[in-house]
């Protein structure tokens, strides 16, 4: 009895510590998760560096980290900081009254008249000014907080990336040793993480980046300002299934047509967006997936939308992985139930030959 009480107390203390650990580490889970994804994606590059730096694993980890920063992080940081600068400029123009609310109000009033609604341009202009001032202040504040969190998260991700590359195998062996789960299932879950990371997550990220770059080319040719901001928005929306980059290039085309009165540019941008930008998603993803994705399209959509609603931006990546892990766990359970039903005795890993 005393041993059972001791075990229950130990279990309670463990659960409390796990809860406190999660509370402490919650702010760093996203950069650490992204670092783990980068380790999986660039594992062949790290393997090549380890072969060249035989006997110096930390040197290989440092070289891999530096290469990843040049290939991935530097361009993304340029886009994000460029978007932040353009957003700040747009905020200043809006607060100082440099935005032409009259043209926007006139376009809205004319568009409403074509569908049978009568709107006064002055009322629309006053509403726009009021809503812009009401909306921009919290957005500017949240953008400042975002940049601060981004810099901290970037530092955590770089440090985590280096240590995952340098000590990753030892970390995995320690977790497998401490986990009560059978080794074959632990290996299966790790393999599922690698597969989903490379298939679903990598395909989503690469497709979003390609669509953002292609859309940015179209925005620049159309003579639009705030190209970095539009590129960043295109990348974000391109990660959401069945929404995609059209959520950005379509409103921009309507802006060109109804506000700036540039019909030709609006039509060309809409054709370019539908024929090149959004179509590239159907080319890039199949090239990366190669049939490795086991997620049904409906599950993929719901997992992304549900993941974002429950976890925020990280849900774009975590949602599909949770669904994939659930499928794997159900398959494990099915295997164990079949073993029980056929009378096969389960043997712990330490008793197997």
pLDDT of res. 350: 44
Q: Which two tokens stand for residue 198?
A: 């490379």
pLDDT mean for each 10 residues of the chain (353 residues): 79 87 80 86 88 86 91 79 68 54 56 57 58 55 66 88 90 81 77 74 83 92 84 84 83 83 89 91 74 65 76 73 79 77 55 47
pLDDT of res. 23: 83
pLDDT of res. 271: 93
- Residue 102 · residue 125 · CB < 8 Å: yes
pLDDT of res. 161: 92
pLDDT of res. 353: 46
**Terminal CA-to-CA distance of the chain, rounded, Å?**
34
CA distance 91 to 93: 5
pLDDT of res. 160: 93
Q: Which two tokens stand for residue 214?
A: 């292609």
Taken in order 300, 317, 175, 45, is the CA torsion positive or negative? positive
Q: Which two tokens stand for residue 228?
A: 């970095």
Q: Which two tokens stand for residue 216?
A: 């940015």
Angle at 213 between CA 46 and CA 32, to 5 degrees: 40
Q: How many CB atoms lie within 10 A of CB 147?
A: 14
Within the chain, where are the H helices? Answer: 2-25, 29-41, 43-52, 57-68, 74-95, 101-114, 121-178, 183-196, 202-221, 227-238, 246-258, 263-272, 281-289, 297-311, 315-341
Taken in order 48, 51, 52, 53, is the CA torsion positive or negative? positive
What residues contact residue 272 under an 8 Å CB cut-off, 6+ apart?
218, 249
Question: What is the DSSP secondary-structure string of 261-273?
Answer: --HHHHHHHHHHI
Among the listed residues 33, 5, 6, the one whose alpha carbon sits nearest the alpha carbon of residue 313: 33
Side-chain half-sphere exposure of 273, counting CA atoms within 13 A: 27
pLDDT of res. 125: 59
pLDDT of res. 215: 92
CA distance 76 to 99: 29
pLDDT of res. 349: 44
What residues contact residue 38 under an 8 Å CB cut-off, 6+ apart?
68, 72, 157, 161
C-alpha distances out from residue 223 to 8, 99, 278, Å: 67, 17, 20
Give the DSSP H or E segment for 120. Answer: none
pLDDT of res. 273: 92
């Amino acid at each position: 009895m005393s041993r059972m009480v001791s075990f229950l107390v130990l279990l309670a203390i463990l659960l409390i510590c796990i809860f406190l650990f999660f509370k402490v580490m919650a702010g760093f889970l996203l950069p650490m998760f992204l670092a783990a994804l980068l380790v999986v994606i660039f594992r062949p590059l790290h393997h090549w560096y380890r072969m060249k730096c035989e006997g110096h694993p930390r040197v290989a980890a440092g070289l891999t980290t530096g290469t990843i920063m040049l290939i991935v992080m530097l361009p993304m940081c340029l886009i994000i900081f460029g978007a932040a600068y353009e957003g700040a400029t747009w905020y200043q123009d809006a607060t100082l009254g440099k935005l032409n609310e009259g043209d926007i109000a006139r376009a809205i009033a004319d568009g409403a008249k074509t569908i049978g609604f009568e709107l006064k341009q002055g009322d629309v202009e006053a509403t726009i000014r009021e809503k812009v001032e009401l909306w921009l202040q919290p957005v500017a504040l949240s953008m400042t907080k975002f940049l601060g969190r981004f810099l901290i998260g970037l530092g955590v991700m770089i440090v985590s990336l280096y240590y995952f590359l340098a000590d990753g195998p030892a970390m995995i062996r320690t977790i497998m040793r401490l986990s009560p789960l059978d080794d074959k299932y632990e290996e299966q879950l790790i393999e599922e993480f690698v597969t989903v990371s490379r298939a679903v997550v990598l395909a989503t990220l690469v497709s979003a980046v390609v669509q953002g770059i292609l859309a940015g080319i179209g925005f620049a040719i159309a003579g639009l300002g705030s190209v970095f901001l539009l590129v960043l928005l295109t990348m974000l929306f391109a990660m959401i299934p069945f929404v995609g980059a059209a959520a950005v290039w379509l409103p921009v085309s309507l802006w060109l047509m109804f506000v700036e009165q540039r019909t030709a540019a609006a039509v060309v941008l809409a054709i370019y967006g539908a024929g090149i930008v959004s179509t590239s998603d159907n080319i890039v993803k199949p090239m990366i997936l190669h049939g490795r994705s086991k997620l049904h399209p409906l599950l993929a959509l719901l997992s992304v939308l549900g993941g974002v609603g429950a976890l925020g931006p990280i849900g774009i990546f975590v949602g599909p992985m949770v669904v994939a892990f659930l499928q794997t766990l159900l398959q494990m359970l099915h295997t164990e139930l079949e073993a029980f039903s056929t009378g096969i005795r389960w043997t712990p890993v330490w008793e197997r030959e």
